[in-house]
Amino acid sequence: MSYDPNNIFAKILRGEAPAIKLYEDEQTLAMMDIMPQSPGHVLILTKEPAETLFEMTPEGAAACIRTTQKLAHAVREALKPEGVFIGQFNGAAAGQTVPHVHFHIIPRDHGQTLKMHAREMAERPELERIARQIRAALA
């Protein structure tokens, strides 16, 4: 595959587009999903220029899993959901909407209906409020 360096996540990583950041290290960035399927939906991005998991280095994939686990703990502590869904899509046919590797952390409660993936923008003040809770749990 040919990586598109102009996708929105690449722009966020370069500081050319806004994001509500939660955590960042040398290999990954965690941020709020602006079109969450449930309150507290978090995305973990690799800093590698990779469209799917299949193009990542083993080191980059391991870094994403470490950050995903770290943020999943923080989401669970901050928001107290009954469960946490963790997912990762590869290719449009699988549901990937941004051609850059990323992992989803989606808090869930029994009987909760999730919003459709990548369909409805959330209000920024609400995302910022939840982000503060998650950041506090990371500290």
pLDDT per residue over 62-83, tens digit each? 999 999 999 999 999 999 999 9
131 inside domain: yes
Q: Which is catalytic among the residues 41, 73, 100, 102? A: 102
61 inside domain: yes
Instruction: Mark whether 102 is an active-site residue.
Output: yes
Predicted structure pTM score: 0.95
Look at 49-58, 80-89, 110-119 and tell me which has the smallest mean pLDDT: 110-119
pLDDT per residue over 15-49, tens digit each? 999 999 999 999 999 999 999 999 999 999 999 99
1 inside domain: no
CB 123 within 8 A of CB 70: no
What's the structural domain count of the chain?
1
Angstrom CA distances, 30 to 60, 81, 86, 102, stand at 14, 19, 13, 9
129 inside domain: yes
26 inside domain: yes
What domain range is 105 assigned to? Answer: 8-138
75 inside domain: yes
